Structure 1
């Protein structure tokens, strides 16, 4: 698949199943990620690749975060939260490890990691791998950042779920780029 086709046909895959990407596939996705634009060449991206049992550890962190916000959460809610880590055979957690006091502000460093995640999503699509970019409370959780090994200054940018698409991708309406153009005032 050529790059333009990959960019213009990519859709998110909310339902993913095994098999997940191979080790070689993950290496290619990460190679695509680290080619993202990066003002200052700070390389703020850090990635945790979770498969197998590691997903259960993430599920435990998700439950811990739930209980921090809702100490009275019932067992059904806890199990539903724990199951979020098992929605796909592979997860890549993308985090912006912020270089403080640099001329490149934190927001640009976070955008660089966002561009890296977008590169992975387009590459996954081109490779026939389903992908879903998720955030939610876990992206802004100080508890989750600490449990994942990051500092308070850092920012979780994506929980990228990867696997074999199960069913159609998330449909997107046909759109016209002209609808998003504005003239200079």
Structure 2
């Protein structure tokens, strides 16, 4: 698939099954991340791969975080749903920003670089026929999750990227009109 076709047609795929991406697919997806815009060459991103039985351990970390965040005990249904969250896909990539002090690159720009790396992975995965979607939410900002994953004090989670084989054909990308989002500025 050529680059413009992937960029114009990429969509997230919510229903994912085994198998996880092959080693060759992974390398293509991961290499795409390394081309993200990166002011001052800080390379503020890093990624954790979680698969196999480690997904169950991640579910336990999610449950611990959810229980600590709530003032009341979680229902059994919510406990089970939280434990199962990492089982939505055979591979989870945790996108992490390593914040660095820099006089010209504020933290926001470092997070944006990580987001650019994730977007590149999403597009590369689409081009490779890999199902993928990006989730954020309160668990990404949880100190319990950060500690459970071994993050340093200067690191923050920017999302969980779920990867696998599409369980159904991807939906068609919406036909958005460019002129609804782009206009020429006139300073008169």
TM-score using structure 1 length:
0.93
Q: CA deviation at 1:26?
A: 1.6
Tell me whether 98-107 or 76-85 shows the greater mean CA deviation: 98-107
Q: Which residue of 2 aligns with 1:12?
A: 12
| 2:61 corresponds to 1:56 | no
Q: CA deviation at 1:94?
A: 0.7
Q: Distance in 2 between matches of 1:87 and 1:162?
A: 9
Tell me whether 140-149 or 163-172 shows the greater mean CA deviation: 163-172
Q: Which residue of 2 aligns with 1:166?
A: 167
Q: Distance in 2 between matches of 1:6 and 1:139?
A: 28
Unaligned 5+ segments in structure 1 are none
Q: Which residue of 1 aligns with 2:107?
A: 106
Q: Distance in 1 between matches of 2:79 and 2:94?
A: 21
Q: Spell out the pairing of 1:25-44 with structure 2 (5 A cutoff).
A: 25-44=25-44
How many residue pairs were aligned? 185
| 2:54 corresponds to 1:46 | no
TM-score using structure 2 length:
0.92
Q: Distance in 2 between matches of 1:98 and 1:160?
A: 20
Q: Which residue of 2 aligns with 1:148?
A: 149
Q: Distance in 1 between matches of 2:172 and 2:65?
A: 31
